[in-house]
Amino acid sequence: MSDTQFLNTLQLFSMRNLLLESDLEKLENSGINLDHSKNIEKGQLVDIELFEFDLIQSAKKMADFYVLYFAFENSVRRLISGRLSEKYGINWWETKVPDGVKTNVKDKQNKEKEAIISIRSEDPLAYTNFGELIDILNKNWADFSDSIRSQKAMQQVLGQFNLIRNIIAHSCELNEDEIIRLKLLVKDWLRIQT
């Protein structure tokens, strides 16, 4: 193969690759998850090769559980916000949240305003920890009793989830039993919603 033929072949390969990249991006933008964009964006982050191999392997193992925990916790926030704003209007936070939770959230918001990081949200519910979400549900149980089977079941599922959440949130690995437990808790949560 001559140099000219090689360059032409290389250009053709590059053009096909660009077209494929474009098609994959279009598929992901349409809602089909290929994890393609996640793979491309890795190179734009800090080089993970700076860390030990075993830490990278543990992080990759735990990544899916973080996604599950993130989605679960934020679905509970949406349930609370949706139900209480529907019943009590936009000022539900002031009238339906326990005073201790409001105080903790205000403290977190004030600390964040003084820090150099971005403000995470204007929504105070974004500053609640999982235990505080349980407190809000408990205080307003009558507003949720028609959509969650029982208060005790809610407390059991969310209390257990909070324990596992702490393991994930503090960058520790779940053992096999806790992985099974996490999956079962998600199923339990869906099961107790009527």
Residue 50 has pLDDT above 90, yes or no: no
Shared domain check, 65 and 29: no
Residue 21: predicted pLDDT? 67
Residue 32: predicted pLDDT? 76
Shared domain check, 179 and 122: yes
Residue type (1 letter), 43 = G
Find the helix or strand (DSSP H, E) in which 64 lies: helix 53-88
d(CA 114, CA 112): 5
Residue 28 has pLDDT above 90, yes or no: no
In this structure, is the dihedral angle defined by the CA atoms of residues 104, 109, 113 and 119, taken in order, positive or negative? Answer: positive
Give the total residue count for the chain.
194
Segments forming the whole domain that contains residue 82: 51-192
Shared domain check, 74 and 26: no
Residue 80: predicted pLDDT? 97
Residue 15: predicted pLDDT? 56
Work out the percent of the chain whose per-residue pLDDT is above 70: 80
DSSP for 86-114, please give it.
HHH-TTHHHHHS-HHHHHHHHHHHHHHHH
Shared domain check, 31 and 55: no
Shared domain check, 71 and 34: no
Residue 33: predicted pLDDT? 72
Shared domain check, 28 and 87: no
Shared domain check, 111 and 82: yes
Predicted model pTM: 0.74
Q: 151 near 138, Cβ under 8 Å?
A: yes
Shared domain check, 155 and 100: yes
| Higher-confidence position of 193 and 36 | 193
Shared domain check, 61 and 37: no
How many Å separate Cα 174 from the centre of its chain?
Answer: 17
DSSP for 117-136, please give it.
SPP--S-GGGG--HHHHHHH
Residue 150: predicted pLDDT? 96
Shared domain check, 139 and 59: yes
Shared domain check, 32 and 122: no
Shared domain check, 70 and 19: no
Note the pLDDT tens digit of each residue in 129-154: 999 999 999 999 999 999 999 999 99
Place of tokens 């539900």: 92
Residue 110 has pLDDT above 80, yes or no: yes
Judged on CB neighbours under 10 Å (0-12, 13-18, 19+), 167 is: middle
In total, how many domains does the chain have?
Answer: 2
Query: What integer best gives the mean pLDDT of the chain?
Result: 86
Confidence of residue 84 (pLDDT cuts 50, 70, 90): very high
